[in-house]
Amino acid sequence: MKNNVFKNIAMQNGVTEEEVRREIEKSIAEACKNPDSPINKIGAGSVPTVEEVMEHVLREVAKSNMN
């Protein structure tokens, strides 16, 4: 599923899937610079992976749809 997300975003923006992944990684790293940012609580390492962030977002969306 995640690869489909990257593929769709890449196609919509005329870039490669790898470029999409790199941009998401840069955004995550930038967000992690703020020590109070909720993103710092996602994942096992100091900077969460793209997959960890996507899984977190999907869980949060699923929870909100249940309410």
Residue percentage of the chain with pLDDT more than 90? 72
pLDDT in tens, 26-47: 999 999 999 999 999 998 888 9
pTM of the model: 0.80
Give the tokens for residue 29: 């790293």
Task: Tell me the two tokens of residue 44.
Answer: 């096992």
Collapsed DSSP state (helix, strand, coil) of residue 10 = helix
Q: What is the DSSP letter of 33?
A: T
